[in-house]
Amino acid sequence: MRAEEGQKRRLMKQAFEARRRFRARHRTYRGETSPLKHVGVPEGLYEKCKRCGERFVKDDILENKMVCPSCDSHFRLRAIDRLNMTVDEGTFIEKGLGYISLNPLFQEDYEQKLAENRERTGADEAFIYGYGEIKGIPCVLGVLDSHFMMGSMGSVVGEKVVKSVEYALVRRLPLVLFIASGGARMQEGIYSLMQMAKTAGAIQKLNQQDLLYISILTHPTTGGVSASFASLGDIILAEPEALIGFAGPRVIKQTIKQELPEGFQSAEFLLEKGMLDKIVHRHAMKDTLYRLLYLHEKGARL
C-alpha cells in the first residue's frame, strides 16, 4: 500500500515537472526566453574547438551556427539551436508533449539518469517535433538531440517519431528529421529494439501516402536509429564529417582486429559509397531544405 502511494507521488512529481517544462516552453515559442538550454558546452565564456584547439568567444560561435570559424568543423547542436537555425522565427509549434520514459526493465540508475538529463537539457526526451515553416513552406520538423542520453531511441523516442509521422500524414505535410543518435537505448532492452520495426513501419505509411521525408544525418548517427528510420529518407542529407554507420568504430576495430582506414564511416565516405544524396554545410542547410521542399511543392501542384 505504501509502495503504491510512493509510486503515485513519484508520478505526480514527474507530472508537475513536465507541466513546468511545458509552460516554460510555450513562452519560448512566443518569442520569449527558452527553457531548452542553449549551446552544447559547459559553463564559461569561451569554447574550444575539439579539432583545431582554438578558443573562441561562445557568442561568436553561436553566431556562426556552432561551426568553428577557423577549421570549419561542425559542433554538436542542442535541439533548440537546431530549431532556431532551421525554422522561420515564431512559426514552430511543438507537438507531442508530456511523454515520459518509464523503467521497463527496472534498471538501477536509469530513472535518475533520465531526471538528470531532463534537468540538464530542459527537454522531456531526446526527440522533439512539431509544426514549423522553412522560408514560408510548412512542414513537420523533428530533432533528435544527442545531448539527451546520446539521442538514444527508447520507447518514448520511438513513439514520438511515429507520432511525428502520423501528424505529417494527417496534415499532409513533408517530414524533415534531424538525426543525431548513438542508437537504441540499452536501458530499455527489447522495447528499444522493437522501436526500430515500429518507426520503419511508420515511414512505410508515409511512403504509401506519397509524402516527402527528408532525413538529415548529423554527428553521430549509428546503431538502431541509423538502421531504421534514419536510413529510409526519400532524400538523405548529411552534415560534413558526421560519423554515420551501423556499428561504432571501436566495435569494428575489436571485431576485425585491424586499423580502420582514415575517414571511415564519415559522411564523405558514405557519399562516395552511394549511401547519401548530398553533404550540406550547416550554413547552407536551411536554403537547401527550402529548395528541396519548394521543388516538391511545385511538383505536387502540376
Partner 1 sequence: MDILEKEKRLDALEEKLAQLEDDSAIQDLRIEIEDYKRQTMQNLTAWDRVLLARHKRRPTARDVIDNVFNTFVELHGDRLYADDKAVIGGIAEIEHQVVTVIGEQKGRNTEENIERNFGMPHPEGYRKARRLMRQAAKFKRPIVTLIDTPGAFPGIGAESRGQSHAIAENLYEMSNLGVPIISLVIGEGGSGGALAIGVANQLYMLENSIFSILSPEGYASILWKDASLAEQAAEVMKLTSYDLREFDLLEGILEEPAGGFQRDPKPVYRDIRTTLVQSLAHLSQKSPFEIKTGRYAKYRNMGFFQRFNYENLKGMV
Q: Which residues bind partner 1 (CB under 8 A)?
A: 11, 14-16, 18-20, 22-23, 97-102, 104-105, 107, 154-156, 158-159, 162, 184, 186-198, 200-205, 207-208, 222-224, 226-232, 245-247, 251-252, 255-256, 260-261, 264-265, 269, 273, 275
Shortest gap between Cβ of 228 and partner 1 (angstroms)? 5
Distance between CA atoms of residues 66 and 282, nearest Å = 9
Shortest gap between Cβ of 182 and partner 1 (angstroms)? 9
Q: Measured from the CB atom, is 39 or 247 closer to partner 1?
A: 247
Distance between CA atoms of residues 40 and 61, nearest Å = 11
Furthest-apart CA pair in the chain: how many Å?
65
Work out whether the CA dihedral 159, 163, 166, 172 comes out positive or negative: negative
CA distances for 156 relative to 27, 188, 230, angstroms: 24, 10, 16
State the SS3 of 203-233: HHHHHHCCCCEEEEEEEEECHHHHCCHHHHC
Q: Measured from the CB atom, is 179 or 289 closer to partner 1?
A: 179
Look up residue 295 and give its three cell numbers: 521543388
Shortest gap between Cβ of 167 and partner 1 (angstroms)? 15
Q: Measured from the CB atom, is 138 or 249 closer to partner 1?
A: 249
Shortest gap between Cβ of 106 and partner 1 (angstroms)? 8
Q: Measured from the CB atom, is 21 or 65 closer to partner 1?
A: 21
Shortest gap between Cβ of 5 and partner 1 (angstroms)? 17
Shortest gap between Cβ of 142 and partner 1 (angstroms)? 17
Cα radius of gyration rounded to whole Å, the chain: 19
Q: Measured from the CB atom, is 92 or 229 closer to partner 1?
A: 229
CA distances for 17 relative to 8, 23, 115, 196, 261, angstroms: 14, 10, 10, 29, 47
Residues 6+ apart with CB under 8 A from 146: 76, 126, 180, 181, 182, 218, 219, 220
Q: Measured from the CB atom, is 67 or 186 closer to partner 1?
A: 186
